[in-house]
């Protein structure tokens, strides 16, 4: 138990295509919605963390004077790392109330800075000259190795997207809600083998924000607190070709067990799971690297509907990055769903969620963050 709780959580008012708001306005919209959820004003915030935009810009824009700032940016899981760092700051007395924001104009590109890799970067020198330039082409390397080593069939990879859509069909805020089949996935446009269009993440606009404070203050807020029971973080490499094992994320294997150990939970204690799903293979890696499945068994686990509605391990219940929302850095949306499930307010609510485990990736298996959310302090 960390002694910290989430007391405010909200996404932007709109999700999807938002051409009339710039990226910093998306941050502000999410932040104001989270403050309203917590019954707070900007003057009540003294800690701020963000990625994709500068904390300095955001603090100025919102009128916040922080005593603690975190601008850690390691990709889509940055916000999980912010939660971990905020726990340390809150428990050590560096601040009393932390706002973590995300806003991204991924589809409309309004006020968004580019993500181009510099030619002098490691990937710019040693990967880009050989062709892979972005997520669809870079992520083919590990998934093809996984398919070769463990015999995963294209139909099994496609089932990940099918199950995500089952959850999205129950979520009125999901970008795509129409049910799909394995045949539909395999018939969609080939993007980069073996990824079809429906196995790749959405490109959208939106954002979200969390407000954290010490657990002993949490009862003073209007919403039921969601306690942070454990956290973990790690990094591996900025170059996917240099992964220690292309069939496993070393960062997942460090961050996930660290969070579970701090929370003092076992796999059977987890009622709900979120695994960042920028592409269809990521939930497979997450299930195995977290230890819910043995090596090579996650494709069958998903195929047999264990992660689907009514299954033994509900996973990515908002529809995930494949069907719900993915503006570029998805980690905040995954945590929002964990909070909703623990609060009991999710669109596709799972019964009796006391513990939700949320695992995120940064870059192409370059980093990982993990947070365990709980209904009760442990």
User: Is position 55 within any domain?
Assistant: yes
- Structure tokens that stand for 98 in this block: 């932390």
Inter-CA distances, 335 with 6, 10, 159, 167, Å: 11, 10, 23, 16
**What's the domain count of the chain?**
1
DSSP 3-state of 180:
coil
pLDDT at residue 309 in the model: 98
User: Is position 284 within any domain?
Assistant: yes
Distance of CA 166 to the CA centre of its chain: 19
Dist CA 214 CA 207 (whole Å): 24
DSSP 3-state of 354:
coil
Residue with tokens 């293979």: 281
Domain holding 275: CATH number? 3.40.47.10
User: Is position 94 within any domain?
Assistant: yes
Dist CA 321 CA 76 (whole Å): 11
Dist CA 210 CA 375 (whole Å): 16
The answer to whether 251 touches 27, Cβ cutoff 8 Å, is no
pLDDT at residue 378 in the model: 76
User: Is position 169 within any domain?
Assistant: no
User: Is position 173 within any domain?
Assistant: no
The answer to whether 11 touches 208, Cβ cutoff 8 Å, is yes
The answer to whether 135 touches 364, Cβ cutoff 8 Å, is yes
Dist CA 328 CA 338 (whole Å): 19
DSSP 3-state of 341:
helix
The answer to whether 29 touches 12, Cβ cutoff 8 Å, is yes
- Structure tokens that stand for 52 in this block: 């994709």
Fill in the DSSP letter of residue 331. H
Q: Which of 104, 121, 122 lies closest to 113, judged by CA?
A: 104
Residue with tokens 């230890």: 291
User: Is position 307 within any domain?
Assistant: yes
CA dihedral 318, 319, 321, 323 (to 10 degrees): -140
> Where in the sequence is the domain holding 259, given as residue range(s)?
4-112+202-374
Residue with tokens 């990982």: 368
| pLDDT tens digit at each of 378 positions of the chain | 679 999 999 999 999 999 999 999 999 999 999 999 999 999 999 999 999 999 999 999 999 999 999 999 999 999 999 999 999 999 999 999 999 999 999 999 998 876 667 889 999 999 989 888 888 899 999 999 999 999 999 999 999 999 999 999 999 999 999 999 999 999 999 999 999 999 999 999 999 999 999 999 999 999 999 999 999 999 999 999 999 999 999 999 999 999 999 999 999 999 999 999 999 999 999 999 999 999 999 999 999 999 999 999 999 999 999 999 999 999 999 999 999 999 999 999 999 999 999 999 999 999 999 999 999 997
Fill in the DSSP letter of residue 221. S
Q: Which of 136, 154, 135 lies closest to 146, judged by CA?
A: 154
Angle between helices 78-91 and 331-343 (to 10 degrees): 60
- Structure tokens that stand for 304 in this block: 């047999």
Dist CA 289 CA 254 (whole Å): 9
Euclidean distance between the first and final Cα of the chain, in Å? Answer: 6
Cβ neighbourhood burial of 131 (10 Å; 0-12, 13-18, 19+): exposed
The answer to whether 10 touches 37, Cβ cutoff 8 Å, is yes
- Structure tokens that stand for 303 in this block: 């195929």
User: Is position 357 within any domain?
Assistant: yes
pLDDT at residue 2 in the model: 78
pLDDT at residue 56 in the model: 97
User: Is position 64 within any domain?
Assistant: yes
């Amino acid at each position: 138990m960390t002694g910290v709780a989430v007391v405010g959580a909200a996404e932007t008012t709109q999700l999807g295509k938002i051409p009339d708001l710039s990226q910093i306005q998306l941050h502000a919209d999410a932040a104001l919605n989270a403050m309203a959820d917590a019954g707070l004003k900007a003057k009540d915030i003294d800690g701020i963390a963000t990625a994709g935009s500068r904390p300095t810009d955001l603090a100025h824009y919102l009128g916040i004077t922080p005593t603690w700032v975190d601008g850690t940016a390691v990709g889509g899981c940055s916000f999980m790392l912010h939660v971990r760092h905020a726990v340390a700051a809150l428990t050590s007395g560096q601040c009393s109330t932390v706002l973590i924001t995300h806003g991204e104009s991924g589809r409309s590109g309004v006020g968004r800075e580019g993500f181009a890799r510099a030619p002098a970067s490691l990937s710019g020198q040693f990967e880009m000259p050989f062709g892979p330039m972005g997520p669809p082409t870079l992520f083919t390397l590990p998934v093809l190795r996984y398919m070769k080593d463990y015999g995963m069939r294209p139909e099994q990879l496609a089932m990940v997207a099918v199950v995500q859509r089952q959850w999205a069909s129950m979520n009125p805020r999901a970008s795509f809600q129409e049910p799909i089949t394995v045949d539909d996935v395999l018939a969609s446009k080939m993007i980069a083998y073996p990824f079809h269009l429906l196995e790749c993440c959405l490109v959208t606009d939106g954002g979200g924000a969390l407000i954290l404070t010490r657990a002993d203050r949490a009862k003073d807020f209007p919403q039921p607190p969601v306690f942070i029971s454990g956290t973990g973080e790690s990094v591996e490499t900025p170059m996917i070709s240099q992964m220690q094992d292309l069939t496993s994320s070393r960062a997942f294997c460090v961050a996930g067990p660290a969070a579970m150990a701090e929370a003092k939970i076992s796999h059977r204690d987890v009622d709900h799971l979120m695994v960042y799903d920028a592409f269809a293979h990521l939930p497979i890696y997450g299930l195995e690297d977290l230890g819910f499945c043995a090596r090579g068994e996650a494709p069958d686990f998903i195929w047999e509907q264990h992660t689907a509605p009514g299954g033994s391990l509900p996973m990515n219940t908002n529809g995930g990055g494949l069907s719900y929302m993915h503006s570029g850095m998805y980690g905040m949306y995954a945590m929002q769903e964990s909070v909703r499930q623990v609060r009991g307010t999710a669109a596709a609510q799972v019964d009796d969620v006391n513990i939700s485990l949320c695992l995120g990736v940064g870059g192409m298996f370059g980093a990982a963050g993990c947070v365990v959310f709980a209904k009760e302090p442990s």
